[in-house]
Every structure is written in C-alpha cells, then in structure tokens.
Amino acid sequence: MVKHLACIMDGNRRWAKARGLPPWEGHRQGSKTIEHVVDFCLEKNISYLSLYAFSLENLNRTSLELNFLFSLIAQEAETVLNWALKKGVRITFVGDSARFPSSVVPHFASLEAKTAAETKLHVQILFCYGGRQEICRSVKEIARKVKSGELDPEAISDTTVAEHLWTCAVPEPDLVVRTGGAQRMSNFLLYQAAYAELYFSEQFWPAITHDDLDKAVDYFYECKRNFGK
C-alpha cells in the first residue's frame, strides 16, 4: 500500500521553454501543480507526500532565477496556507536550514506553525536539500554523541542513522515518482529510498495529471516487494 509518495518535481523549465516562456513561469505553474498532487494523495488515502522542491545544487542557478523562486514562495505562501488548512494538510520543510534564504524563513515558519495540528496528509517539502549532505550530517551528529558519551558505538545501527536524518519525522517512501523523463535519483532520499519502487514519467511536472499518478500507483501495485528476502 502506498502510504508515502515522494516526487522529484522535474521539468518546470523545459515546460516553459516548450511554450516560449521564461523559466520562472515554469516554476509558477509547477507550484500550482502541488495542490493537484495533494488532492490526489487525499483521494488515495496516502498519508505522506515528500516533494523535492529545491536542491543544494540549485543554489548555483542564476541570481535572476533564484530571486524569482524565492519571491514566488512569498507570493504563494498565503494561498498554500489557505488550501492546506481547508484540506487538513500539515506542511513541514526539511533540508540544510542554515542555507535557507532569509527571505523565505518567516514564510516556512508560519506555514509549519499554522498547519501543525492538521492530520489528513503530511506534506514534507525538501528545500536546500541533498541526500549525501543529509547522510554526512547524520554521521557527524552521531559522532558528536559518541564523543560526548551519549551514545555507545556498539549500539549504532541503520536505525540510528535514520533517526538523525533531516527527514526522520516521516517513514521511508514507498513510491518515488520522477517527472521530466530523466531516470536518476539526483541526490534525493538516497538513504530512505533503499526499498522504494521507482517510477519515471515523461511528463513535465507542471503537466502532471491524476491519470499520470494513477499509472505510477498502478505500477507500484504490480511490483512484488520482497525487501531482499
């Protein structure tokens, strides 16, 4: 059963280019797609949705594009809050918080605080996120606890590592969907997705539909999950 759907939201810029639009218009349309995917999860009784919104590598994009992306967050925050409360959706942000642009931090904090009591769906937005960096951070935190005597090295297990990840508040994903045609993980949930089913869609993120997501879920149920047994 799909309880946690994770999405690599790829193809915003190519969607815009195909229509003769600047890249940021793809991001604008892509932000609207999120609500449709939330509706899909609610209809299918999916409890967790993880969205790869912005990677650490994305910080290398042009200042023009980055400024638009960060201003878009400010513009859309109230809209997102309204539909989240109406639909019973909790929203959290995870990633390297030290790298969060100062302009978005108040909006993230407000969304988290005001939706904290919602229980129908937990949407985890990965921002300034990188899977390798997340694992390194977990290892450093564990090493610190070992050094201070808080943790016995012999007690360290894969669960210990998972408990120190940025994403420790949600279970591992059952299904990872990547839009945009590429077939790679791009530093997304590298530790958590060890046993997830992977589905790659040719559709760009702004164009993804319920039918496309239905195909991904159908694919999941066709897979035999034996977890290495």
List residues with catalytic annotation.
Answer: 10, 58
Q: Do residues 168 and 141 make contact, with C-beta atoms less than 8 angstroms apart?
A: no
CB neighbours of residue 72 within 10 Å = 16
Cα distance between residue 21 and residue 79, in whole Å:
23
Angle (CA) 197-201-205 rounded to 5° is 115
Of the candidates 85, 93, 87, the one whose C-alpha atom is nearest the C-alpha of residue 43 is 87
Residue 139 C-alpha from the chain's centroid:
21
Tokens of 162: 């998972």
- How far is CA 194 from its chain centroid? 16
